[in-house]
Amino acid sequence: MSGPDAGLCGGLKEEIGSRIRGSVAIAAIGNILRADDGLGSKLIELLLARGVKARLFDCGTAPENYIFPILAASCETVVLVDAADMGIAPGASRVLDPDKIMNVSFSTHSPSPRLFIDLLKTGRDDINIFILSVQPKSTMLGAPMSKEVLAGLETLSGILSELLA
């Protein structure tokens, strides 16, 4: 990749790569009826098309319903993907530490990712979990996904498919 985002993408790839160990599950959280809040579902679709080597879970607005299937997958790393207002450019991504998410406003669903993470760790305390958040432009009910988030997801799916080849 070249251009102004090349360094940012390289840094994101390096950060994600440094957190992955062993087999990987990707759990996408969000509401497809609320514009960019549905970005997790779109990312899962893109990763499926790329044939990424990971267990993929489109959890929608009820991630708690996927706790047992995710644990049954016996993956060493779980990546949670969610829209979050981090005060950065729409479509930009950040890796967040689950222990440091108190000042981040996650999308329109409940319970919070923190509770979901705690429940996963109750089932398996050695599991490696991190959050991959994307800045939404809009979470308006019935609105389409923004072009900024779609472009960011294309980049993110490329990074993940390289790391999980």
Contact 78, 25 (CB under 8 A): yes
In this structure, the strands spanning 105-106 and 77-85 are antiparallel
pLDDT tens, per residue, the chain with 165 residues:
333 344 456 699 999 999 999 999 999 999 999 999 999 999 999 999 999 999 999 999 989 899 999 999 999 999 999 998 889 999 999 999 887 765 444 555 555 677 888 889 987 889 999 999 999 999 999 999 999 999 999 999 999 999 998
Gap between the Cα atoms of 66 and 58, Å rounded: 9
Cα–Cα distances (Å) from 102 to 43, 52, 85, 115, 149, in that order, read: 24, 31, 12, 12, 23
Residues in the chain: 165
* Nearest alpha carbon to residue 39 among 55, 59, 54: 59
Distances (CA, A) of 91 to 4, 25, 39, 145: 14, 22, 10, 10
pLDDT digits (tens, 9 = 90+) for 1-24: 333 344 456 699 999 999 999 999
Instruction: List, in order of start, the domains of the chain with CATH numbers.
Output: 6-163 (3.40.50.1450)
Answering whether pTM is above 0.85, one says yes
> How far apart are the C-alpha atoms of 39 and 58, rounded to whole Å?
10
